[in-house]
Amino acid sequence: MAAPLGACPVQIGQYDRVVLGHGSGGRLTHELITQLFVPAFHNPTLAALEDQASIALDGVRRLAFTTDSFVVSPVFFPGGDIGKLAVCGTVNDLAAGGAVPRHLAASFILEEGLPLADLRRVVESMRAACDEAGVSVVAGDTKVVERGKADKLFITTTGIGWAPEGRRLSIAAARPGDRVVVSGPLGDHGMAILSVREGLSFQTELLSDCAPLGGLAEVMLRASPSLRCMRDPTRGGLASALNELAAASQVGVVVREPAVPVRPEVRGACELLGLDPLYVASEGRMVAVAPAAEVPALLDAMRGHPLGRGAAEIGEVVADFPGKVRVQSSVGGDRLLLMLSGEQLPRIC
Residues 288-317 that bind a second copy (CB under 8 A): none
Establish if 208 lies at the interface with a second copy (CB under 8 A).
no
78: which DSSP letter?
A: T
Smallest distance, a second copy to C-beta of residue 108, A: 7
Closer to a second copy by CB, 103 or 309: give it.
103
**By the rule CB under 8 A, 109 interacts with a second copy:** yes
> Does 2 contact a second copy by CB under 8 A?
yes
10 binds a second copy (CB under 8 A): yes
Can you tell me which of 85, 88, 91, 126 binds a second copy, judged by CB under 8 A?
126
Positions 62 through 101 that interact with a second copy (CB under 8 A): 63, 65-71, 73
CA angle 47, 314, 64 (to 5 degrees): 30
Burial label, 267 (beta-carbon count in 10 A; 0-12, 13-18, 19+)? middle
CB closer to a second copy, 143 vs 335:
143
Instruction: For residue 259, state whether it binds a second copy (rule: CB under 8 A).
Output: no
Q: How far is the CB of 345 from a second copy (least distance, A)?
A: 12
Taking the complex as a whole, how short is the minimal distance between the CB of residue 130 and a second copy, in angstroms?
Answer: 7
Stretch that binds a second copy, among 9-17, 190-198, 220-228, 274-282 (CB under 8 A): 9-17
- 75, 130, 169, 290: which one binds a second copy (CB under 8 A): 130
Half-sphere exposure of 342 (CA within 13 A, CB side): 1
**Which residue stretch of 50-58, 219-227, 299-307, 320-328 sits at the interface with a second copy (rule: CB under 8 A)?**
50-58
State the minimum distance, in angstroms, from the CB of residue 212 to a second copy.
15
Do residues 265 and 200 make contact, with C-beta atoms less than 8 angstroms apart?
no
Q: Is the peptide bond before 277 cis (omega within 30 degrees of 0)?
A: no
Q: 3-state class of 196 per DSSP? A: helix
Closest Cα to residue 87, out of 108, 68, 115? 68
From 144-152, 171-179, 222-230, 270-278, span contacting a second copy (CB under 8 A): 144-152
How many angstroms separate the CA atoms of 112 and 333, rounded? 53
User: Rule CB under 8 A: which of 29-48 touch a second copy?
Assistant: 29, 32-33, 36-37, 40-41, 43, 45-46
CA distance 52 to 18: 24
φ, ψ of residue 6 to 5 degrees: the values are 100, 175
What's the rounded Cα separation, in Å, for the pair 45 and 97?
A: 13
76, 78, 151, 168: which one binds a second copy (CB under 8 A) = 151
Out of 34, 149, 165, 250, the residue judged to bind a second copy by CB under 8 A: 149
165 touching a second copy, by CB under 8 A:
no
Could you give the dihedral angle defined by the CA atoms of residues 184, 215, 106 and 51, in that order, rounded to the nearest 10 degrees? -60
Q: Using CB under 8 A, which of 18, 272, 292, 293 touches a second copy?
A: 18
DSSP letter, residue 4? P
Residue 86's closest CA among 132, 118, 122?
122
Which of 14, 56, 116, 166 forms a contact with a second copy (CB under 8 A)? 116
Question: By CB under 8 A, is residue 11 in contact with a second copy?
Answer: yes
Q: At what angle do helices 188-198 and 264-273 cross, to 10 degrees?
A: 50
Longest pairwise C-alpha distance within the chain: 58
Instruction: Specify the residue, 41 or 329, whose C-beta has the smaller distance to a second copy.
Output: 41
Q: Is the peptide bond before 44 cis (omega within 30 degrees of 0)?
A: no
